[in-house]
């Protein structure tokens, strides 16, 4: 009887060992989730920003062509002059981005500067600036809940502050400011933004 048990044990041990080995080979290790390298994350972000910018530019182009300009304006503006740039910034700290739109072709410009629009986040007009030469600067200093804007008119700085939900539309009519933008001020159209057509 003892011999029989020992024989069975000797047969079962190798069988159990082989079964464990087979099971081990059949279950392959779970692959680790793919990790993004620093270069992957750096290149992925601008693509999203570019998509947002493109979407915003298309909405602005539609607004300009269908709401801001008349059909007479559109007939008078040559196709190669139907260009604009835009830049977004939160001017009143509500977490929503206002949009500056800069026109810089002859139809919108004179000797004193060009037309610049300020729109809210739904592309509704806040202020139409005339005879304005970018860049503008949005200073962190708030007046009436909105950032102070600075623009140069000739050699003088002009300070534009919000009144009743609008900024002064013609900086050239304002007196020279005793202040100028601080180092923390954000430049608007300070760098060359992409051109878009409407």
Q: To the nearest whole number, what is the mean pLDDT of the chain? A: 83
pLDDT mean over 178-186: 96
What gap in Å lies between CA 67 and CA 79, rounded to an integer? 18
CB atoms within 10 A of CB 81: 15
- pLDDT confidence band for 137 (50 / 70 / 90): very high
Chain center to CA of 107? 27
Q: 12 in a domain, yes or no?
A: no
* DSSP state letter for 50: H
Q: 145 in a domain, yes or no?
A: yes
pLDDT mean over 129-158: 95
Q: 43 in a domain, yes or no?
A: no
More confident: 198 or 16: 198
Residue indicated by tokens 């979407």? 55
- Name residue 100's beta-bridge partners: 87, 118
Q: 61 in a domain, yes or no?
A: yes
Q: For 26-76, what is each residue's pLDDT tens digit?
A: 444 555 555 544 444 343 434 435 568 789 999 999 999 999 999 999 999
Q: 110 in a domain, yes or no?
A: yes
Q: 156 in a domain, yes or no?
A: yes
Q: 10 in a domain, yes or no?
A: no
Domain count of the fold of the chain: 1
Q: Quick one: which of 126, 176, 128, 127 has its CA closest to 151? A: 176
Residue 20: per-residue pLDDT: 46
Q: What are the contacts of 28-31 at 24+ separation with CB within 8 A?
A: none
Q: Which domain holds residue 133?
A: 51-197
Q: 118 in a domain, yes or no?
A: yes
- Residue 8 in this model has a pLDDT that exceeds 60: no
Question: Which distant-in-sequence residues (6+ apart) come within 8 Å of 141 by Cβ?
Answer: 147, 148, 182
């Amino acid at each position: 009887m003892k011999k029989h048990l020992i024989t069975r044990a000797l047969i079962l041990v190798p069988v159990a060992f082989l079964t464990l080995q087979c099971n081990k080979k059949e279950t392959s290790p779970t692959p680790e989730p793919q990790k993004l390298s620093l270069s992957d994350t750096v290149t992925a972000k601008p693509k999203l920003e570019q998509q947002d910018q493109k979407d915003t530019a298309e909405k602005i182009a539609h607004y300009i062509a269908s709401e801001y300009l008349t059909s007479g304006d559109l007939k008078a503006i040559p196709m190669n002059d139907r260009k604009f740039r835009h830049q977004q910034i939160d001017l009143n700290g509500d977490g929503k981005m206002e949009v500056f739109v800069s026109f810089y072709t002859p139809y919108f410009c004179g000797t004193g500067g060009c037309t610049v629009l300020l729109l809210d986040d739904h592309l509704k007009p806040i202020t139409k600036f005339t005879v304005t030469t970018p860049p503008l600067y949005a200073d962190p200093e708030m007046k009436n809940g909105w950032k102070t804007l600075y623009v140069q008119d000739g050699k003088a700085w002009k300070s534009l502050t919000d009144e009743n939900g609008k900024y002064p539309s013609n900086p050239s009519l304002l007196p020279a400011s005793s202040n100028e933008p601080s180092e923390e001020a954000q430049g608007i159209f300070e760098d060359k933004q992409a051109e878009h057509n409407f």
